[in-house]
Amino acid sequence: MAAQMTNAHRRFLQVLMSNGITEGSEARKLHQHCCETDKVYYAHDKLDDFIGTINSHLQPLFMQIRKGISEDDGRAHYAVVNLAETEVTKMASDYTEIELELFRKTMDLIILSENGFASSTDILNLADQLKTKKMKKKEAEQVLKVFVEDKWLSEKNGEYTLHTRCIIEMEQYILSNYQDVARKCNICHSLAIQSQVCESCGIGMHLPCVRKYFRGQTEPRCPKCNEFWSCDTP
């Protein structure tokens, strides 16, 4: 039973779309502002219902407001995603063929890596081998900067991983195209790019999920094989 869309819903959706990705507390504030501006009934704990109404109208358009958890701090973020399994339409229109190729190859590196990061050196070496056209290192550095600004990649100490926004928007795409390699978190069952892995049985978990799961335990053990959890719990 879908409620009607009001201007408050539409305004919320417009802002979410132009932000690219919106953090949880920002989204709650936005919810309140939209309801106040458009004089719609507001209840502070009804954000999920509010979003649910919008989603029921987005469904026939193969779009959805999706919630994702940041792999860094465990906080919720919201993004409007395209549910079709092909690459995000939004990205395809913002970048050139060659930039997209660099991004895809970078994504390969990140997903295939142990820790979910690709060093800038490795990525710049890729630039040389692009099929479309060779890209100079300087150009590639610029393109990487743009990817970070646009929130497709995030950078830490010269290494790059996928931004929360990218993970939310491309989760379906990644899970289907990297079926054998992409890891799923054993706790929350979502895609895990950065993860801690059990040395014995190989299952992976998000760092925030590890933190929550092992809270207060002096002897952390793997939930699957019960061996000692060898990684430092964050």
Q: Which parts of this chain interact with other proteins (CB under 8 A)?
A: 5, 7, 10-11, 13-15, 17-19, 26, 29-30, 33-34, 37-38, 54, 57-58, 60-63, 82, 89-90, 93
Name the residue nearer to other proteins (CB basis): 37 or 217: 37
CB of 169 to other proteins, least distance (A): 13
Q: How far is the CB of 27 from other proteins (least distance, A)?
A: 10
Residues 6+ apart with CB under 8 A from 111: 174, 178, 181, 182, 193
3-state secondary structure of 26: helix
How far apart are CB 207 and other proteins at their closest, in Å? 30
**Nearest distance from C-beta of residue 30 to other proteins, angstroms:** 5
**CB of 14 or CB of 132, closer to other proteins:** 14
Distance, CA of 56 to CA of 60 (rounded, Å): 8
Residue with tokens 């949880």: 24
Confirm if 40 and 46 have CB atoms less than 8 A apart: no
* Alpha helices, DSSP H, located in 44-189: 47-58, 89-94, 97-112, 120-127, 137-149, 164-177
Q: Give 29 or 75: the residue with its C-beta nearer to other proteins.
A: 29
Residue with Cβ nearer other proteins (86 or 115): 86
